[in-house]
Structure 1
């Protein structure tokens, strides 16, 4: 399976609602590596690397996030492969 990395920016009510924690949990369940990070503008940035089908599964999950969140937008773009250990919360 092709290995890819995608960086996504998620907007809406995504800070202070456990979004990063749940994203890391979902990423690990899908055997992905990467991170979830709060940004100063209220968005969350997620880097996810792994098998393309699993990255796509996390992207689909990010469209709604955890029940506590209210996602209003997801933008994404491909980035070069990055060898990362685990899925961290930053």
Structure 2
């Protein structure tokens, strides 16, 4: 295995605050695409956004910081992300 593959990280979690109706999912997908991250994002009925993202550790750390801010129109109050096993998803989709 090369070191790039070994550095792949997968995160799953939830973002709370004013994160629906503010282009959070679309902005997350655009950010993921720029960073070369795979995964998905979706709104939940309770007002939170759920996200799963997978990529190299450096890109995932940038994504983690971005999720704590979100797009300008959002007001992120809490981010709960946990590392999980690699899912092997290709691409990033809005669910």
TM-score where L is the length of structure 1: 0.97
Residue 31 (structure 1) aligned to one of 20, 36, 58: 36
Indicate whether 1:80 and 2:85 are aligned: yes
What RMSD over aligned residues (CA atoms) do the two structures have, in Å? 0.7
Counterpart residue number, 2:49: 44
Structure 2: which 5+ residue stretches go unaligned? Answer: none
Structure 1: which 5+ residue stretches go unaligned? Answer: none
> Which of structures 1 and 2 has the bigger CA Rg?
2
TM-score where L is the length of structure 2: 0.92
Counterpart residue number, 2:68: 63
Which of structure 1's runs of 4+ aligned residues deviate more than 2 A? none
